[in-house]
Amino acid sequence: MELDRLAFTFFNPEIAREYWPDIAKGFVVTLELGLATIATGLALGLALALVRSFQMRVINWVIVLFADALRALPPLMVIIILFFAFPYAGLPMSAFTATWLSLSLVLAAFSEEIFWAGIVSIPRGQYEASRSTGMSAWQTLVNVILPQAVRITIPPLTNRTIAITKGTALGSVVALAEILGSAHSASSLAGNPTPLTLGAIAYLLLFIPFVLFGRWVETRFAWKQ
């Protein structure tokens, strides 16, 4: 009896059939948002780390300030600032754009520090040896230092990327119709938590492959070292 009541409350077949299309649409939005965040955040973080490696003092201070500020602020606060405050500065943006940009900036801040730690961990002698062969500073950085640094940073970078990408659920605060937002709206309309159960299943279907892929990448690179 209790199990029947539990099933009726949290996985009502009729409600599930009615609202699963909404969860499926939210799944697509979450997937697009996650992939966009990963691509933008990692690319920006790597670019900042490369610029920082040229040791331009003022620019380095700006990069460090950016990284420290974005790592200190909760991602939710960044989303709220971009979505609600920026329109007053003449920069309105959609819920998707605000969430994507916020999570990308946070991921860029963390990935910049991770990439930078990898770069400075490479012995200085390798840089000097490469320069002695006639390679430019840029060629040395790209062809000698960076490949080793990226390999070192794979484990922490993978974990941090997955953690921040799961923050796509924060988009529900600004009415983004991702998985959680869609599930919450459907649950309110149905007066039943079944859509939230569907949302939880959708998150598992989406992020378990992310986690398994991250584990595979870590193992692959660790084997090559």
Residues whose CB is less than 8 angstroms from the CB of residue 193 and which lie 6 or more positions away in sequence, other chains included: 9, 10, 187
Q: Is 198 contained in some domain?
A: yes
Q: Is 6 contained in some domain?
A: no
Query: Which has more confidence, 27 or 134?
Result: 27
pLDDT in tens, 80-104: 999 999 988 888 999 999 999 999 9
Burial class (CB in 10 A: 0-12, 13-18, 19+), 166: middle
Please give the Cα distance from 23 to 177 (Å, whole number): 9
Total-model pTM: 0.87
Q: Is 78 contained in some domain?
A: yes
Please give the Cα distance from 30 to 21 (Å, whole number): 14
In total, how many domains does the chain have? 1
pLDDT in tens, 110-127: 999 999 999 888 888 887
Q: Is 210 contained in some domain?
A: yes
Instruction: Report pLDDT for 154.
Output: 83
Residue 140 has pLDDT above 90, yes or no: no
Q: What is the DSSP letter of 171?
A: G
Q: How many CB atoms within 10 Å of residue 212?
A: 10
Q: How confident is the model at residue 191 (pLDDT cuts 50, 70, 90)?
A: confident
Q: Which domain holds residue 161?
A: 16-224
Query: Which has more confidence, 163 or 218?
Result: 163
